[in-house]
Amino acid sequence: MTEAETMQRVQEISALLGQADLPDTVADDIVLIMPGPDDLPWAGTYRGKQAVAAWYAAVEQWVSTQVLDVRGYIVQGNQVAIRFHEEAIVRPTLHPKGA
């Protein structure tokens, strides 16, 4: 896949940020790295389409995103980093809804 094709797919995926449904065009070996301290429930590395989709669904239990603004992409071969700005309300207990 060319960098242009990779960029097109990333733009399609980033339009879905915050949704648990990932398009069929997402590779099965997708890796999501969400930095943060060990006690942050959604921080970590998620490997595979099912794990990334599950992460999107789970993070909604802790975070209510108010603003999500994609600010740019860095593409190198088949690796992509997305720069974004997010404003969110986090549950103060860091326990999922209903827990």
Q: What is the pLDDT of residues 1-38, one digit of tens each?
A: 777 887 787 777 777 665 556 767 677 888 889 888 98
Element (H, E) at 82: strand 79-90
Residue reference for tokens 């097109």 = 8
Task: Return d(Cα 56, Cα 21) in angstroms, integer.
Answer: 8
Residue reference for tokens 């949704």 = 19
Query: What class has domain 3-90?
Result: alpha beta
Task: Return d(Cα 14, Cα 73) in angstroms, integer.
Answer: 10
Q: Which pair of tokens denotes residue 27?
A: 């590779």
pLDDT at 44 exceeding the cut of 90? yes
The answer to whether the beta carbons of residues 97 and 64 sit under 8 Å apart is: no
Residue 46 — pLDDT band, cuts 50, 70, 90?
very high
